[in-house]
Structure 1
Amino acid sequence: MEKNLLKTTILKPENLVLKQYIEYFLFLRKKDAAPIQYTTFPNNNLCLAVYRHNHINYQNDGKVNRCIIKAGSHTFSSRIYGFHNRPFQVDVQQELDQICIIFYPAALKAFTRMNFDEMHGNDQVFEQLFLPKDEYFLEQLFEEPDPARQARQLEGLLLSQLEECRVLKIREALYHLSVAQPNNQNVGMEMLCQKLGVSDTTLFRLFKNSLGQNPQKYLKTIRFRQALKDLTTTQDLLTTVALRHCYYDQAHFIKDFKTFTGYSPKKLLHKVSIQQQSLAWIYQEN
């Protein structure tokens, strides 16, 4: 019998306002219990993942960054994933019905007053974040077979809870970082404090509460993601790519890639695939 492989669908938001906050919606479905595995890499966006009939065992202790998905007793569970320091390995050992909302950096704060630390580790975070007036919202969402219509349902919920004023300061900070010189992080932080009129302590707290990581880690991850995109879309030499993204040398570039992905840049190129020009991952069938 032919296996029902993992089916992925990526949809961008239609609403112009939400396009500023939501990178895309990701739908993952697998209709059999054949085990599969995939690996994604550190990024500065946040993923709110909602599952139906799955139990999630998430292990993240500094050495292991792994999510094991099995059959669950609860109808729905949900988690926040993001700001990994190492590759994120997902083992799917059961049927899977999963919906993810991929938020741009700091964008989730526009929809909730909760800080990142309050959300992390919670397996019912969707209900805590949104508390939809319709108690059957998730049931109706997962019963809809068309991902495009599911995305529209999610957009309606998100728009009903959007408060843009919550993210004005952190969005200003991210704007200044995007135009700052990326080759000197210390100068960038000093400049940022001056632009925002805040102390370095306040800046640190702003990033931790809104992004879940400090400014230096944010910049380091941004550099890696830009280099990864460059690496997968150009034929340039490794040294050229490394220097273009302000790594000290090729050795520094390779070391960072091994930390973030588990592979050297050359080996990664032979394994990684890009889904709908949005999701970089390594997909394996067991």
Structure 2
Amino acid sequence: MDEKEHYISVKPSSKSLQKYIAYYYFNFSNQEDYKKRYIFYPHFRNAITVYKRSKISFSKTGSIVVPDASKEFEIIYTGIHNQSRIGEINAPFDKIGIVFQPLGINNFLSEPFSDIIKESPINDFNYFGHNFEIALKKVYNTNNVDEKVAALDAFFKDELNPLAETRIIKAVNYLFEEDLTIQELSEKLQLSRKTVLRLFRKHLNCSPKEFSNLVKFRKAIEIYQKGNSNFTELAHANKYYDQSDFIKHFKKATGFNPKKFFSGISHLGTEDTFWTLLKN
């Protein structure tokens, strides 16, 4: 991480929330001449991102953040995505991230996920309203990370409304355990293909195949980072058909072959944030 900015990632203090929220992160810079450009990669997790005194604009391939003193908060939702995107952030910026487990955000909604979130990304994501802004002010008003986490934990505990649809929970768990076709997943769940597809669209805005591919991709990154696998072993461990299939999948997801991708990524914080930083 460049000394001109700071990035800290930390899990919720509440064990009960860790089932739904993978981690929070706090990323800030006060250097007015500083600009960061980076590639962020496909993930099976979704997130709420908050900027203080900034505004964001989106294009088909990425986003640009610039300072804006007129905006107290810019709140963005980013869902599961299958393609890499380019981000640009211009300092000063002060950013909070709430990174959810795959079905995590569903446990804080009072209506079905697909009724609330019909696209991604979404700026001005104001679903949680005034109470969320009160919590954000508490986060921004302290430099103590434990106090920041406590404020976010308190808000999400109050909003907790556990997802009652156990079939999608089982389906997601199955896809983390093994690589399944939709037919195999349907048989395990004892549901029709149509019902399985509907469950994934309703609660995740993706298909089972798209979700499974994201799990394989992120598992491959995790295994490689441990430093004990070559590409052939990675392909085998993650149930790719062969090494050629593995390379093809990585190029489609990242724009790079695996060798170039792994040589260029930077690991931010202590959780699973991997970016490729670009030269300005």
Query: What TM-score do you get using the length of structure 1 for normalisation?
Result: 0.87
Task: Give the match's secondary structure for 1:92.
Answer: strand
**Partner in structure 2 of residue 18 of structure 1:** 17
**Partner in structure 2 of residue 248 of structure 1:** 241
Query: Residues 49-94 of structure 1, C-alpha deviation per residue, up to 9 Å, x if partnerless?
Result: 011111111223xxx2x11111223211111113222112211123
Q: Within 2, Cα distance between the matches of 1:117 and 1:165?
A: 15
Displacement of 1:285: 5.3
1:93 aligns with 2:69: no
Q: Within 1, Cα distance between the matches of 2:211 and 2:85?
A: 17
Q: Within 2, Cα distance between the matches of 1:232 and 1:206?
A: 33
Taking only aligned residues, the RMSD between alpha carbons, in angstroms, comes to: 2.1
Query: Residues 213-258 of structure 1, C-alpha deviation per residue, up to 9 Å, x if partnerless?
Result: 1111000110111111122223432112112211112111111111
Aligned-pair identity (%): 23
Distance 1:193 1:22, change over 3 A: same
Aligned length: 273
Task: Give the match's secondary structure for 2:198.
Answer: helix
Of 254, 267, 272, which residue of structure 1 is paired with 2:260? 267
2:35–2:90 contact (8 Å) kept in structure 1: yes
**Partner in structure 2 of residue 102 of structure 1:** 99
**Partner in structure 2 of residue 168 of structure 1:** 166
Task: Give the match's secondary structure for 1:42.
Answer: coil
**Partner in structure 1 of residue 77 of structure 2:** 80
**Partner in structure 2 of residue 283 of structure 1:** 277
1:154 aligns with 2:147: no
Query: Residues 89-110 of structure 1, C-alpha deviation per residue, up to 9 Å, x if partnerless?
Result: 2111231111010000011111
More displaced 10-residue stretch of structure 1: 134-143 or 157-166: 134-143
After TM superposition, the structure 1 = structure 2 runs for residues 171-186 of structure 1, keeping only pairs within 5 Å, are: 171-179=169-177, 181-182=178-179, 184-186=180-182
1:217 aligns with 2:217: no
2:108–2:159 contact (8 Å) kept in structure 1: yes
**Partner in structure 2 of residue 145 of structure 1:** 143
1:106–1:167 contact (8 Å) kept in structure 2: no
Query: What TM-score do you get using the length of structure 2 for normalisation?
Result: 0.89
Query: Residues 119-163 of structure 1, C-alpha deviation per residue, up to 9 Å, x if partnerless?
Result: 3343221x31x2344763332322222232111101100000111
Q: Within 2, Cα distance between the matches of 1:149 and 1:227?
A: 34
Q: Within 1, Cα distance between the matches of 2:182 and 2:203?
A: 20
Paired residue type of 2:92 = E
Displacement of 1:167: 4.8
Q: Within 1, Cα distance between the matches of 2:221 and 2:132?
A: 41
Q: Within 2, Cα distance between the matches of 1:117 and 1:42?
A: 23
Task: Give the match's secondary structure for 1:224.
Answer: helix
Q: Within 1, Cα distance between the matches of 2:135 and 2:169?
A: 30
Q: Within 1, Cα distance between the matches of 2:163 and 2:186?
A: 25
Query: Residues 30-58 of structure 1, C-alpha deviation per residue, up to 9 Å, x if partnerless?
Result: 11231111222111011110111111112
Paired residue type of 1:98 = K
1:230 aligns with 2:223: yes
Query: Residues 248-285 of structure 1, C-alpha deviation per residue, up to 9 Å, x if partnerless?
Result: 12111111111112211111121112222421122245
**Unpaired stretches in structure 1, ≥5 consecutive residues:** none
Paired residue type of 1:67 = S
1:71 aligns with 2:67: yes
Q: Within 2, Cα distance between the matches of 1:115 and 1:277?
A: 25
Q: Within 2, Cα distance between the matches of 1:212 and 1:131?
A: 23
Q: Within 2, Cα distance between the matches of 1:75 and 1:229?
A: 36
**Unpaired stretches in structure 2, ≥5 consecutive residues:** none
1:177–1:192 contact (8 Å) kept in structure 2: no
